Amino acid sequence: MLKAALCVIFLLGALPSSAKESQGHISVVLLGATGDLAKKYLWQGLFQLYLDEVSSGHSFTFYGAALTEPEPGKLLMFEVLKKLACPPDVDPNRCVVVKDQFLKLSQYRQLKTSENYTTLNQDIKTLLQQEGLEEAGRIFYFSVPPFAYMEIARHINSSCRPRPGAWLRVVLEKPFGHDYESAQQLATELGTFFLEEEMYRVDHYLGKQAVAHILPFRDHNRKLLDPILNRHHVERVEIVLKETIDAKGRASFYEHYGVIRDVLQNHLNEVLMYLAMELPANINHSEEVLRNKLQTFKLLQGLEKTSAVIGQYQTYNSQVREELQKADNYFSMTPTFAGVLFQIDGLRWEGVPFVLASGKALDERTGYVRVLFKNRAYCTQSETLRDARWSQCKPKQIVFYIGHGELNSPAVLVSRNLFKPTMPEGSWREVSDRPQLRLFGQPLSDYYAYYPVKEREAYSSLISNIYHSKRDSFITTENMLASWEFWTPLLDGLAQQAPRLYPGGQENEHLLDFEMVGREVSFTLQEPVEVLSAGGGQTPDDYRSTQNKFRKSPLVLGWAEELISRLASDIKAAAASAVERSGEFHLALSGGSSPIALFQRLAMHHYDFPWGHTHLWLVDERCVPLTDPESNFHSLHSYLIQHVRVPYFNVHPMPVHFNQRLCVEEDRGMELYAKEITALVTNSSFDLMLLGVGADGHTASLFPHSPSGLEGAQAVVLTESPVKPHQRMSLSLPLINKARQVTILVMGKGKHDIVTLISRVGNDPAKWPISGVNPSSGQLAWYIDYEALFG
């Protein structure tokens, strides 16, 4: 108890002699005291709380807790505490003294076992008793991963609750689940330990100064603003968070969440609520604010797949493969960019687009809420004569600038032609420097612009709000569930959708621009593949003029992932039109490694592909049992067939395995397959045939310098490969050339030489069988990735 006694000496010393009567004692327990968040923000926030409230009449003790043993834990924790900074607005001498007190009121605790919690509880009680202090309450800040929540919650409930009459506040950090179901489960479980009013779920965006000022701003300017904050006057609202960094190093987290769960579902959505909700009569009433916010939630129109556009920066996939140790054919569908269009029912907002956008690896780091008003004025006088700043023809906007970007500070901006806002003196000051800086199409001098008098970390504000039980700065259970209920259908819908790939940074150019038409959004540029090849910079100049053709046939060019996703959707389109035309779709697929990625992509089109009407055929096969991993059918089965609902009788493996032997001429497997084709495929003309190219110029299993299958009447042939397994079965070139559509997919650096070669040669199937692919009445298209084309 020596420690407790010491605490008390300083504790009493901390109270000024003129202190009000003691308001009671508060114990703050920071769980995860040596973690990143604690190091970066939470200790500083607790120190700030102590600085602010040291003369409030409350006394404090701070317990940093973690699983680490007492000695090393203590060292780690005090390393952090020693570095706590004195805020610039505090007298340095006073700060040194207060910091010293703070350090002495702080101690490290190992909280691992239930005994450890019981001991903590006992120690708090003893301290209170010894010093004759009344307990006011306890704060437990969970700065730990969610999987640890339940155990900690159980311990706190069973052995660390304060005396009856004192309050308990537990502070929770996101993620609060992954979708509606998991969020609800987590909430239900936590609800068995804590009352709703005991839980403070942090969304740190709500502590950012510009965001926290949205409601006060609306309140202070109620008379001028309320009449124009509606569908009659507002053109649109943009809520944006752009990041330049990517997810490197965090891929294992990010891959499970993605930009929508990481940013839009919580931060941006919450910010939107502050702007869109009905303003309560008294914004100091937390319950009223929370109620209005929830009501507006219920007015949000459901999101459709067409309400969103998604993107993924190009190197994300390789980062995921590396950090999660995924195979080379793993393709992540996780979006790192999203733009979502919201519409809100009700008289105030009906028809006004609310755009939420966020992404990683973008051109700048910035965040803002921007309300753009309709402009109905026509200005007769010439622009040079007008006083530009008040011109009614200039854009009218209000911006809550969250930070970073050009301003590099939180700010509130109001166009001068709108109104001069009332800002609380003492906390916001008008800015007039940097008049030349342009923001949202106007020089800074066109705005009334305000910076905070002192900048404050979001976490410091939130910790203060926890202390003051300002509950409307936190996410209630009902609010959180409403949010997940709202977002989950969109997340489910997008799970099957390939994001548009973008190169990252300034190279993104206009690739991610999107536009709104009615209730839908779409990228403004429809052809990312061509755009990339024109703007990517890696494209040799001589290639540009012919970029859409390869060997006189249409070429689709792109990075591997995007190429696959494009091909998958083209196949889907071909399937839909074949089914419409003839009721069935005959698809013949090749073996090899490139198609595997395609199979996986196709498997994702689980629901909207006409699998029930699709027949799957093999272009070629190795003479091995179908269960052999070398078998083309085997990989087709593993990566596609078993994931989709193709009827069994629509699946047509090549009969290479007969009479317990492989590809023996007299078993007539070739004839059998040819008969099956004749019987089922009209005119033996496949709707779509997917081919590849070997480094030696072979395609299907038709090899150079081997006449078999290059001409003649045989539809299916046996061939010899130069590499093992040597024996193959293959569709013949004449049959291939009967197809309605032939698609040749070529990917990877290893194909660069052959691609270069065949771009120049004429038709010489004996030397390069691929050059003999030339559908007699069908269409041929090449899908080639950058690596194969440019090496």
Ligand X SMILES: *[C@@H]1O[C@H](CO)[C@@H](O)[C@H](O)[C@H]1NC(C)=O
- In angstroms, rounded to a whole number, what is the distance separating the alpha carbons of residues 702 and 715? 12
Identify any residues that bridge with 354 across adjacent strands, giving them in sequence order.
Answer: 237, 342
Q: Output 673-682 pairs: Cβ under 8 A, ≥24 positions apart.
A: 673/715, 673/716, 673/729, 674/714, 674/715, 674/716, 676/652, 677/617, 677/715, 677/716, 677/735, 678/715, 680/586, 680/615, 680/652, 681/586, 681/615, 681/617, 682/582
CB of residue 502 vs ligand X: minimum separation in angstroms? 41
CB of residue 284 vs ligand X: minimum separation in angstroms? 4
- In angstroms, rounded to a whole number, what is the distance separating the alpha carbons of residues 31 and 170? 10
CB of residue 286 vs ligand X: minimum separation in angstroms? 11
- In angstroms, rounded to a whole number, what is the distance separating the alpha carbons of residues 512 and 519? 18
* Neighbouring C-beta atoms of residue 481, cutoff 10 Å: 18
Q: Which stretch binds ligand X (CB under 6 A): 5-13, 112-120, 406-414, 717-725?
A: 112-120
Among 104, 112, 231, 470, contact with ligand X (rule: CB under 6 A): 112
CB of residue 750 vs ligand X: minimum separation in angstroms? 38
In whole angstroms, how far apart are CA 270 and each of 16, 196, 211, 307? 40, 19, 10, 18
C-beta of 71 vs 630, nearer to ligand X: 71
C-beta of 288 vs 507, nearer to ligand X: 288
Phi/psi at 341 (5° precision): -100, 125
Question: Which parts of 252-291 interact with ligand X (CB under 6 A)?
Answer: 282, 284
Residue 682 found at the interface with ligand X (CB under 6 A):
yes
C-beta of 159 vs 706, nearer to ligand X: 159
- In angstroms, rounded to a whole number, what is the distance separating the alpha carbons of residues 408 and 419? 24
C-beta of 282 vs 384, nearer to ligand X: 282
CB of residue 777 vs ligand X: minimum separation in angstroms? 8
Q: Which stretch binds ligand X (CB under 6 A): 19-27, 111-119, 142-150, 307-315?
A: 111-119
* Burial category of 579 from C-beta neighbours within 10 Å (exposed 0-12, middle 13-18, buried 19 and up): middle
- In angstroms, rounded to a whole number, what is the distance separating the alpha carbons of residues 331 and 561? 7
Q: Which stretch binds ligand X (CB under 6 A): 105-113, 386-394, 601-609, 621-629?
A: 105-113
Side chain identity at 393, as an amino acid letter? C
Among 23, 116, 244, 547, contact with ligand X (rule: CB under 6 A): 116
Contact, 453 vs 427, CB < 8 A?
yes
C-beta of 119 vs 182, nearer to ligand X: 119
Among 89, 115, 328, 492, contact with ligand X (rule: CB under 6 A): 115
CB of residue 211 vs ligand X: minimum separation in angstroms? 18
Contact, 311 vs 494, CB < 8 A?
no
Among 126, 130, 188, 192, contact with ligand X (rule: CB under 6 A): 192
Close Cβ partners of 640 (under 8 Å, ≥ 6 residues apart): 599, 600, 602, 603, 616
**Per-position x/- string for 146-165, each x denoting binding to ligand X as judged by CB under 6 A, each - no binding:** --------x--xx-------
C-beta of 4 vs 564, nearer to ligand X: 4
Q: How, if at all, do strands 500-502 and 308-313 pair?
A: parallel
- In angstroms, rounded to a whole number, what is the distance separating the alpha carbons of residues 534 and 564? 19
- In angstroms, rounded to a whole number, what is the distance separating the alpha carbons of residues 475 and 200? 7
In whole angstroms, how far apart are CA 454 and each of 87, 196, 409? 9, 33, 10
Question: Residue with structure tokens 């600085």?
Answer: 51
Contact, 42 vs 4, CB < 8 A?
no
Among 43, 142, 193, 200, contact with ligand X (rule: CB under 6 A): 193
C-beta of 115 vs 720, nearer to ligand X: 115
Number of residues that bind ligand X (CB under 6 A): 16
H or E segment to which residue 46 belongs: helix 43-53
Question: Which parts of 42-81 interact with ligand X (CB under 6 A)?
Answer: 70
**Structural tokens at position 272:** 């939107």
User: Cα torsion at 118, 122, 124, 125 (round to 10°)?
Assistant: 140
* Burial category of 583 from C-beta neighbours within 10 Å (exposed 0-12, middle 13-18, buried 19 and up): exposed
Among 12, 75, 100, 113, contact with ligand X (rule: CB under 6 A): 113
Residue 469 found at the interface with ligand X (CB under 6 A):
no
CB of residue 119 vs ligand X: minimum separation in angstroms? 6
CB of residue 156 vs ligand X: minimum separation in angstroms? 9
CB of residue 199 vs ligand X: minimum separation in angstroms? 14
Residues composing the chain: 791
| DSSP characters over 377-389 | ----S-TTTS-GG
C-beta of 151 vs 364, nearer to ligand X: 151
Question: Do you find a cis peptide bond into 725, omega within 30 degrees of 0?
Answer: yes
Residue 776 found at the interface with ligand X (CB under 6 A):
no
Residue 130 found at the interface with ligand X (CB under 6 A):
no
Contact, 412 vs 444, CB < 8 A?
no
Residue 119 found at the interface with ligand X (CB under 6 A):
yes
- In angstroms, rounded to a whole number, what is the distance separating the alpha carbons of residues 120 and 137? 14
Contact, 109 vs 120, CB < 8 A?
yes
Q: Which stretch binds ligand X (CB under 6 A): 19-27, 108-116, 308-316, 460-468?
A: 108-116
Q: Which stretch binds ligand X (CB under 6 A): 115-123, 227-235, 541-549, 783-791?
A: 115-123
C-beta of 153 vs 560, nearer to ligand X: 153
In the annotation, is 155 catalytic? no
Residue 683 found at the interface with ligand X (CB under 6 A):
yes
Of the residues 204, 267, 657, 698, only one is catalytic, namely 267
Crossing angle for the helix pair 43-53 and 92-104, to the nearest 10 degrees: 110
CB of residue 193 vs ligand X: minimum separation in angstroms? 5
CA atoms lying within 13 Å on the CB side of residue 773: 33
C-beta of 206 vs 251, nearer to ligand X: 206
CB of residue 424 vs ligand X: minimum separation in angstroms? 8
Q: Which stretch binds ligand X (CB under 6 A): 25-33, 106-114, 589-597, 701-709?
A: 106-114
Residue 678 found at the interface with ligand X (CB under 6 A):
no
C-beta of 582 vs 642, nearer to ligand X: 582
Residues marked as catalytic: 267
Contact positions toward ligand X, by CB under 6 A?
70, 110, 112-113, 115-116, 119, 154, 157-158, 192-193, 282, 284, 682-683
